[in-house]
Amino acid sequence: MTISKQITDHLFRQQSGKMNSILINQFGFEQSSTVEDIIQETFLAALKHWRMKGIPENPEAWLMQVAKNKLINELQRRKRHGKLNKNIVQPADLNLLTENDELIKREQIKAFFACCSPSISSKAQIMLTLKIISGFGDREIAKGLLMSEQSVRKSIYRTRKILKELGKAAFNIGKGEYIERLDIVLKVLYLMFNEGYYTSSGDKILDEDISFEAIRITTWLLEINYLEHGKIHALLSLMFYNFARFESRTDSSNQIIDIEHQDRSKWDAKFVQQGIYHQRKSRESTEISKYHIESGIAAVHCLSKSYSETDWNQIVLYYQRLLTFDNSFIIEINYAIALSEAGEISASLKLLKGLKRNRMKDSSLLFGALARVYQRKGNLEIAKSYYKVAMDMTLSENERHFFASKLNKLFLNTDGSLN
Amino acid sequence: MKKYLLILFDTNENYEAMTPDDYQKEIELHGKWIQELGEHYDSGEALEEPSKTIRGKELLVTDGPFIEAKELVGGFYVIRANSFEEATDLAKGCPTLRLGGAVEVRPIMHIEM
């Protein structure tokens, strides 16, 4: 034991993900509360022990061994009380807990695909993945997904109930299921990344952790050699290009900075390189996915030296292609902005005015976009009033602040430049 | 320097809502505190539940310690300090206090011969 030894960042979270994955594969969702208790007790034991005596030489192995011992005790206790169904549990399989990382990763991938069951919603898949595979706590999931802790707990409870009913079938995951579920799995990872990237919880580190977790799990998929790697590389490329800009997207008081005003010298070159690498690999794909196109858009932004040098015509073409995959509101909005930046202002306004709003959130985005396009056009009075409406409509404090600062700048600077 | 015993009383319910990351942060705080104690740190042991108390010549065995039910002795540190005041001041830095726990400071009896 060394008193001053440091623990790797998020070791507990990662160990929780490993333990949960292995144990859920072994025991199924019907035992999830026992599994959770064991993990909680293991961490409590570590806290009580390590705080007195310092961190052990191999903290990971310590945690795994303690969890294993606790579980064996629990199983023996149940056996004594006749509660154990022998068909479900073979304690020998608990050796997986102390196996090497490669084997454990395989278990995590399997558990991840189980969490992405087609029987549950995307949101439920994301929550379950964050909890079981990534070791986030309910409180962190609630904060990251802008939900209340109670609704996270309720939702996870309901999800588990559904998966419990599937019984063993929930873990019947072989080659067929891996291939079949790839699109669901990529969508979950894409949405999970965006939860961290676009949804500001007010906790920058937590947001970054959620996005990075999505990247980490996506890279695992490349280890399954019969999956379509092109799409996986495309998603990774998109994630890395965006992740490179993580730092520059908000200021010190956590307010949004749009891409035009981001300090490009803060973009992380090492992640941009990863973006380029995976984009190159994504071209080996047999089919083009929406991730390919989105990564193309992100690449244009990441590789432009300045905002004014951005190749908007290229971006417009990408959006037109993207709309054939996904004509969602948010993509239409972005397409309209790209059109106006490419000089097609009347086309942009026509598009925006024809958009149907389905959610509360849509309104503030639409009015914000209209304000921006009118500002581009030079109609500053109209732009101001649209910013005001956007401010009234938004549900997010951060967004309100963003529109307010745009409006403020318009009052200070009436020459119509977008500064 | 003289030796002092710091007895840690935990309020266990504080741990129930902790996330894995919270546990890690809590351990790191203790690690940092011990590091800051430097030469003042001597040793420490964690205590497990359950606990029994045996009383008098009748050897009457009862469950638990006789303190407020929510608090449990989770472990103890032995530290070195120049005075009882210094030991008390050092104990104030113990991270467990942030969670609403308590620390009892007792000088370890030592008689110079």
What is the CATH number for B9? Answer: 3.30.70.1060
Establish if B23 belongs to a structural domain: yes
Residue B12 in domain? yes
Per-residue tokens: B43: 């040793």
Q: Does B14 touch chain A (CB under 8 A)?
A: no
Stretch A189-207: mean pLDDT: 85
Parent domain of B58: 2-107
pLDDT in tens, A345-374: 999 999 999 987 777 677 888 999 999 999
Q: Which residues contact B79 (CB under 8 A, 6 or more apart)?
A: B3, B4, B6, B37, B40, B41, B42, B87, B90, B91
Helices A269-282 & A290-303 angle (0-180, nearest 10): 140
Cβ distance B27 to A51 less than 8 Å, yes or no, reads yes
- Quick check: A314 pLDDT over 60? yes
A52 touches chain B (CB under 8 A): yes
Split into its structural domains, chain B has a count of 1
B28–A7: do the CB atoms touch at under 8 Å? yes
Residue B104 pairs with which residues in a beta bridge? B7
C-alpha A130/C-alpha A74 separation (Å) is 26
Q: In what order do the strands lie in the sheet with B71-81?
A: B41-46, B71-81, B2-11, B102-107
| Cα separation, B47 vs B31, whole angstroms | 18
Assign A83 a pLDDT band (cuts: 50, 70, 90): low
* Residue A351: predicted pLDDT: 95
What integer pLDDT is reported at residue A417 of this predicted model? 55
Identify all chain A residues contacting B26, using CB atoms and an 8 Å cutoff. 47, 51
DSSP letter at A30? G
Mean pLDDT (whole number) for B37-58: 90
CB-based contacts of B81-87 (< 8 A; 24+ apart in sequence): B81/B1, B81/B2, B81/B4, B81/B40, B82/B1, B82/B2, B83/B2, B84/B4, B87/B2, B87/B4, B87/B6
Phi, then psi, of A357 in degrees rounded to 5:
-95, 130
Q: How far apart are CA A22 and CA A93, in angstroms?
A: 9
B80 in a domain, yes or no? yes
Chain A CB contacts of B51 under 8 Å are none
Q: Do A52 and B20 touch (CB under 8 A)?
A: no
Nearest-angstrom CA–CA distance, A361 and A146:
14
Give the number of other CB atoms < 10 A from CB of residue A219. Answer: 13
Q: Which residues contact B109 (CB under 8 A, 6 or more apart)?
A: none
pTM of the model: 0.85
User: Cβ contact (<8 Å) for B35 and A136?
Assistant: no
Residue B10, pLDDT above cutoff 90: no
Check CB contact of A3 with chain B, cutoff 8 Å: yes
Per-residue confidence band for A169, with pLDDT thresholds at 50, 70 and 90: confident
* pLDDT beyond 70 at A342: yes
Q: Whole-angstrom Cα distance, residue A43 to residue A50? A: 10
Average pLDDT over residues A281-293: 92
Residue A1, pLDDT above cutoff 50: no
Q: Is B101 helix (H, G, I), strand (E, B) or coil?
A: coil
Assess whether pLDDT exceeds 60 at residue A3.
no
Minimal Cα distance from B77: which residue of A? A52
Buried b (16+ CB within 10 A) or exposed e, A5-32: eebeebbbbbbbbbbbbbbbbbbbbbbb
**Read out DSSP for A223-278?**
TSTTS-HHHHHHHHHHHHHHHTTTGGGB-TT--B--GGGS-GGGS-HHHHHHHHHH
Q: Tokens 């026509």 label which residue?
A: A350
Residue B61 included in any domain: yes
Mean per-residue pLDDT, B10-38: 89
Q: With left for phi above 0 and alpha for psi between -120 and 50, is residue A378 left, alpha or beta?
A: left
According to DSSP, residue A2 is labeled B
Cα A211-A157-B21 angle, rounded to 5 deg: 40
Q: Minimal Cα–Cα distance from A10 to chain B, Å?
A: 6
Distance from C-alpha of A241 to C-alpha of A231, rounded to nearest angstrom: 15
Instruction: Read off the pLDDT of residues A16-33 as tens digits, 9 standing for 90 and up.
Output: 999 999 998 888 888 888
Domain presence at residue B112: no
Does A198 or A217 have the greater pLDDT score?
A217
Could you give the CA distance from residue B3 to residue B82 in angstroms, rounded to a whole number?
9
Indicate the DSSP class of residue B64: S
Q: In 3-state terms, what secondary structure has residue B81?
A: strand
Q: Is the per-residue pLDDT at A88 higher than 70?
A: no
Cis peptide before A56 (omega within 30 of 0): no
Residue A86 has pLDDT above 70, yes or no: no
Residue B99 resides in a domain: yes
d(CA A25, CA A93): 10
pLDDT top residue among A42 and A285: A42
Amino acid at A278: H
Closest CB to B20: pick one of A3, A4, A43: A43
In this prediction the ipTM stands at 0.88
Give dist(CA A320, CA A218) in Å, integer.
27
CA Rg, chain B, in Å?
A: 16
Q: What percent of chain A has pLDDT over 90?
A: 65
Decide if pLDDT at A229 tops 50.
yes
- Going A337 to A340 to A344 to A349, the CA torsion angle's sign is positive
Structure tokens at A132: 């079981």
> B19 to chain A, minimum CA–CA distance in Å?
5
B15:A50 CB<8 A = no
CA distance B42 to A78: 41
Which pair of structure tokens corresponds to residue A146? 């802008």
Per-residue pLDDT band for B66 (boundaries 50, 70, 90) equals low
Q: Which residues of A touch B45 (CB under 8 A)?
A: 52-53
Task: Name the closest residue on chain A to residue B74, using Cα atoms.
Answer: A48
User: Which tokens belong to A290?
Assistant: 């929406």
pLDDT averaged over every residue in chain A: 89
